[in-house]
Amino acid sequence: MPLSPTGTITHAARQQRSGVGAFNVVQIEHAEAIVAGAEHAQRPVILQISENTARYHGALAPLALATLAIARAADVPVAVHLDHAESADLVREAVELGFTSVMFDASKLPYEENVAATRSITEYCHVADVWVEAELGEIGGKDGAHAPGVRTDPDEARAFADATAVDALAVAVGSSHAMHTRDAALDFDLIQRLHTALAVPLVLHGSSGVSDTDLGKAIAAGMTKVNIATHLNKLFTSTVRTHLAAAPDLSDPRKYLGPAREAVATEVTRLLGILSHP
Specify if 151 maps to a domain.
Answer: yes
pLDDT tens across 62-121, in order? 999 999 999 999 999 999 999 999 999 999 999 999 999 999 988 888 888 989 999 999
129 is catalytic: no
Cα 151–Cα 154–Cα 158 angle in degrees, nearest 5: 130
Burial readout 9-37 (b: 16 or more C-beta within 10 A, e: otherwise): bbbebbeeebbbbbbbbbbbbbbbbbbbb
Name the least confident of 35-39, 176-180, 233-237: 176-180
Domain that holds residue 221: 6-276
1 in any annotated domain: no
Q: How confident is the model at residue 141 (pLDDT cuts 50, 70, 90)?
A: very low
- What is the pLDDT at residue 178? 46
Share of the chain above pLDDT 70, in %: 89
Catalytic residue among 83, 105, 167, 187: 83
pLDDT number for residue 177: 52
CATH number of the domain at 24, please.
3.20.20.70
Write the DSSP assignment of the chain as a string of letters: -PPPPHHHHHHHHHHTT--EEEEE-SSHHHHHHHHHHHHHHT--EEEEEEHHHHHHHT-SHHHHHHHHHHHHT-SS-EEEEEEEE--HHHHHHHHHHT-SEEEE--TTS-HHHHHHHHHHHHHHHHHTT-EEEEEES---SHHHHHSTT----HHHHHHHHHHHT-SEEEE-SS--TT-SSS-----HHHHHHHHHH-SS-EEE--GGGS-HHHHHHHHHHTEEEEEE-HHHHHHHHHHHHHHHHH-TT---HHHHHHHHHHHHHHHHHHHHHHHH--
Domain tally for the chain?
1
Q: What is the pLDDT of residues 192-219, one digit of tens each?
A: 999 999 999 999 987 666 788 888 888 9
pTM: 0.91
pLDDT at 110: 85
Q: What is the mean pLDDT of residues 19-26?
A: 96
